[in-house]
């Protein structure tokens, strides 16, 4: 199981949101590059980066900072936030990014999703940010009536490499992830899934790993690391 420490970037800083609310934002002392170096030195092999400014505005806004991480830290980088055209995707892949995470663009432009999955094989992931089974877009500010399951069933044969499934009502709360819904979803779509949102303790991670479910590829851990609820050395041992 892959552990993805999260680096969410807003205005050049590492931040965490509460339930996707940009009015409930916590900033942290380390810069994104310092945080990435910290994760690398601790022994992690992957990180999950979100350009929150990009997600809101529809275009990458923290490119310089993210490129510094790519150039200075030997980690597999999964990146999302405002990546909504093929040129942008191509530039990130050429820069060395392992996976591109598409959210809003994937839902609003299905033909683009199909095209990039074919062009960049095993490089395209999709982010499903979900409230009560329905997808939210544009940094979670735009709620749709699109069923996450219906959407995935429409695109499941495109060659999507993984799905990042975030229960928005859990995200940033440290009240435990929505394991049941994510596992149920994974079993219905048969695409590798990454659980995101609400991780509160090392026991949540152990519980997910103990499922021994081949469709659950990994878990994203954010606020509980930054706030010290999970001891980083304990988390590394689970990798």
Q: Which residues are tagged catalytic? A: 8, 129
Residue 195's φ and ψ, nearest 5 degrees, are -80, 135
> What is the rounded distance in angstroms from the CA atom of residue 16 to the CA atom of residue 11?
12
End-to-end C-alpha distance for the chain, whole angstroms: 7
**C-beta neighbour count of 124 within 10 angstroms:** 26
- 100 and 93 Cβ atoms separated by less than 8 Å: yes
CB neighbour list of residue 135: distance below 8 Å, 6 or more residues apart: 107, 128, 129, 144, 146, 147, 148, 151
Which among 70, 64, 68 has a CA at the least distance from the CA of 94?
70
- 85-97: string of b/e by CB count within 10 Å (b at 16+)? eeebbeebbeeeb
Other residues' Cβ atoms within 10 Å of the Cβ of residue 114: 17
CA–CA gap between residue 202 and residue 116 (Å, rounded): 36
């Amino acid at each position: 199981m892959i552990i993805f420490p999260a680096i969410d970037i807003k205005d050049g800083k590492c931040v965490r949101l509460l339930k996707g609310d940009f009015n409930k934002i916590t900033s942290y002392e380390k810069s994104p590059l310092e945080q990435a170096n910290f994760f690398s030195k601790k022994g992690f092999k992957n990180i999950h980066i979100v350009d929150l400014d990009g997600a809101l505005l529809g275009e990458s806004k923290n490119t310089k900072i993210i490129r510094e991480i790519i150039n200075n830290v030997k980690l597999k980088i999964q990146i999302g936030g405002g990546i909504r055209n093929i040129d942008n995707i191509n530039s990130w892949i050429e820069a060395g990014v392992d996976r591109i995470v598409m959210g809003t663009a994937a839902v609003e432009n299905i033909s683009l999703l199909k095209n990039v999955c074919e062009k960049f094989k095993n490089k395209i992931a999709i982010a499903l940010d979900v409230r009560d089974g329905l997808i939210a877009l544009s940094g979670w500010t735009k709620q749709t009536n699109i069923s996450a399951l219906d959407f995935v069933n429409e695109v499941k044969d495109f060659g999507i490499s993984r799905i990042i499934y975030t229960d928005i009502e859990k995200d940033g709360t440290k009240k435990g992830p929505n394991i049941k819904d994510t596992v149920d979803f994974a079993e219905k779509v048969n695409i590798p899934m990454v659980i995101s949102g609400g991780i509160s303790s090392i026991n949540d991670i152990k519980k997910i790993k103990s499922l021994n479910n081949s469709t659950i590829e990994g878990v994203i851990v954010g606020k509980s690391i930054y706030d010290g609820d999970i001891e980083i050395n304990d988390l590394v041992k689970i990798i």
